[in-house]
Amino acid sequence: MTFAIHVENLSKSYGAVRAVADLSFSVPAGCTFGLLGPNGAGKSTTLSLLQGLRQPETGRVVVLGLDLSAHAAQVKGRLGVQLQHTSLMPDLAALQQVLLFARLYGRRLNRAAALDLLRRVGLAEKAAALPGQLSGGQQQRLALALALVNDPELVFLDEPTAGLDPQARRNLWDLVRTLRAEGRTLVLTTHYIEEAEALCDQVGILDHGRLLALDTPAALVGQLAAAAPTGRAPSLEEVFLHFTGRAWRDA
Amino acid sequence: MLTHLPRQQPAWRPILHFAGAMFQAGLTDWRTTALSLFTPLFMLVLFWLIGRPAEPGDLDLAAFIFPAIVGLTVMLGGQTLAMRLVNWRTQGVFQRLAATPTPVGHLVLGLGLAQAALSVVQAMSVLAFGALALGLPVNGLGAGAALGVLALGVSTFSAYGLLVASLSPKADIASSLFIFTLLPMFFLGGGFPAEILPAFLRPVSPWLPTTMVNTLLSPLLATGTLPSDPAWPVLGLLSYTLGLAALAAWRFRWE
Ligand SMILES: Nc1ncnc2c1ncn2[C@@H]1O[C@H](COP(=O)(O)OP(=O)(O)O)[C@@H](O)[C@H]1O
Ligand SMILES: [Mg+2]
């Protein structure tokens, strides 16, 4: 089996906060992988280490067969990235953003291809709109379109459905499934359990920067049923709470 | 779905594409662009209203300060650049840009080029306004040659804007830091006649980049000639540009 991502002993701290602690896991190519965890679990930090945006303190990251510490630029060109806190260029219309980002990936889209991409995320009518003229959900979808400008092999989506309405969420699920069917590897983070269940081949449960469990959603449910028999099948949500506890989490 | 050309390309291409897009963005955000024209135009009109000579032979303050205000227009471009860079940092725009294979330094350079081009266009507008609307004297040939000086000046003050951005945690801090350091340099550097400066400040003047821009710009715009010794200000501005850019690059954080 080839791996799209292979991580060994990855750690990252912000001052005294240990955001990622000795993380090791692999994501098979073509798989949709979900990182599940409460707020502050270290999901976004983990992604930023896999995207070459931050340097880990310890550990090794191999992405698409290349060691990230030595080949960051080369790897970045093959990744699609949607960040949690959407950050679009303020004074460029949607279509312009798509065309510009393609260039930054060394690609050249013609207008029709760029419009196609906007259509894919339901923004064809907003091609001329500035980010400030888009709703939060629309901005998020534009960020998603930008994550696809380079026809990426590996796509990172950080809480892609947070703040989306039910229609937009279902459309995003469809898009994720299409991307998977096209043979791409996807890594998405979420704290919506049903989303992980619906989309992911494998789920990692992360808390306090540590990976508490990693398996298919069905296997995780099975493990809990065996460990704490209740006479009925537990939900993935119960698995999640079993691993992460019930204490309040800060945003 | 996607059509594209081979991805191997020289480094200058994404820089120029980015600069082009940012120039367009600068025009889209015309309010900021117009606002940064306001200060020089306001000063120019003010000096024109109060500074016309009462009798022939008196100093024409408006004509005297005109080249300095044209120079000030490109200097203020550094302020816009600094604010934009800090905004990009605090709003996480850089974070997304840093995820692309184009190095962040190239993107900063592209943004700097775009802002520089905008500033030179603005300076030429101020020049045209002063000459055509206010009837201030301008040597036509010198105005063309002034483009070179403006390009040099805008490089120096873009580098300064870069340094200010590297040191400022917030956009409004960057804005204030830039303007409150620029204005004294402006008045010591040709904005006011040297005779009215306090004596202890006069030795500072020749070392200021504002003076260097003005030393080159004043004779060019007035008579179409260069100063007798143009090497000093040209080399001075080049050294400032390199020194400030190096300092800024050393301190620069996109996060
Ligand atoms: N830039 C940063 N500076 C300091 N602390 C940070 C920064 N980013 C995240 N953290 C801290 O690191 C921990 C993990 O954050 P994050 O990776 O964003 O978690 P998640 O994405 O799972 O919500 C949190 O405690 C958060 O407060
Ligand atoms: Mg997060």
C-alpha span between A94 and A21 (Å, rounded): 38
C-alpha span between B207 and A113 (Å, rounded): 54
B200: Cβ contacts below 8 Å, ≥ 6 apart? none
> Contact, B158 vs B77, CB < 8 A?
yes
pLDDT tens track for B39-92: 899 999 998 998 777 777 777 888 888 999 999 999 999 999 999 999 999 999
What is the number of domains present in chain A? 2
Q: Cα dist. A248→A42, A99, A241 in Å? A: 16, 43, 11
The reported pLDDT for the residue numbered B5 is 43
pLDDT tens track for B217-244: 999 999 999 988 899 999 999 999 999 9
The reported pLDDT for the residue numbered B8 is 56
- Cβ–Cβ below 8 Å for B101 and A76: yes
Q: Is the same domain home to A106 and A126?
A: yes
Q: Is the same domain home to A137 and A231?
A: no
Ligand 2 center–CA B26 separation, angstroms: 32
Pairing of strands A210-215, A202-207: antiparallel
The closest alpha carbon to A23, from A39, A31, A38, A48, belongs to: A48
Q: Is the same domain home to A39 and A139?
A: no
Q: Is the same domain home to A129 and A16?
A: no
A113-122, B74-83, B173-182, B195-204 — which is least confidently predicted? B195-204
C-alpha span between A63 and A27 (Å, rounded): 10
Mean residue pLDDT across chain B: 89
Does the residue A250 lie in any domain?
no
The reported pLDDT for the residue numbered B1 is 41
End-to-end Cα separation, chain A, in angstroms: 37
What is the number of domains present in chain B? 1
Q: Identify the closest residue of chain A to B110 by CA–CA distance.
A: A104
Residue of A104, A117, A179 best to disrupt the B interface, most CBs of B under 10 A? A104
Residues with CB under 6 A from ligand 1: A 14, 17, 19, 37, 39-45
The reported pLDDT for the residue numbered B50 is 86
Characterise B172 by phi-psi region: left (phi > 0), alpha (psi -120 to 50), beta (else).
alpha
Token reading at A225: 């049923």
ipTM (interface predicted TM): 0.91
User: Distance from CA of residue B51 to its chain's centroid?
Assistant: 25
Q: Is the same domain home to A161 and A237?
A: yes
Give alpha helix (H) positions in B51-103.
61-90, 93-98
Ligand 1 center–CA A145 separation, angstroms: 25
Name the pTM for this structure: 0.89
Residue A44 has pLDDT above 60, yes or no: yes
The reported pLDDT for the residue numbered B112 is 95
Q: Which H or E run includes A60?
A: strand A58-63
Among candidate residues A95, A118, A151, the one where a domain is terminated: A151
Nearest-10 Cα torsion for A100, B99, A179, B2? 30
Q: Is the same domain home to A196 and A125?
A: no
pLDDT tens track for A69-90: 999 999 999 999 999 986 799 8
Longest dimension (CA), chain B: 74
pLDDT tens track for B155-186: 999 999 999 999 999 999 999 999 999 999 99
**Structure letter (DSSP) for residue A8:** E
Q: Which domain holds residue A206?
A: 3-78+152-244
Indicate which residue's Cα is closest to atom 12 of ligand 1: A19
pLDDT tens track for A193-204: 788 889 999 999
User: How would you label A143-176 residue by residue, b for 16+ Cβ within 10 Å and e otherwise?
Assistant: bbbbbbbbbbbbbbbbbbbeebeeebbebbeebb
Residue B3 has pLDDT above 50, yes or no: no
Does the residue B173 lie in any domain?
yes
Does the residue B206 lie in any domain?
yes
Tokens 């880990």 -> residue: A56
The reported pLDDT for the residue numbered B2 is 45
End-to-end Cα separation, chain B, in angstroms: 34
Ligand 1 center–CA A42 separation, angstroms: 6
Residue B103 has pLDDT above 70, yes or no: yes
The reported pLDDT for the residue numbered A246 is 64
Residue of A64, A66, A75, A87 best to disrupt the B interface, most CBs of B under 10 A? A87
DSSP string of A141-171? Answer: HHHHHHTTTT--SEEEEESTTTT--HHHHHH
Q: Is the same domain home to A162 and A73?
A: yes
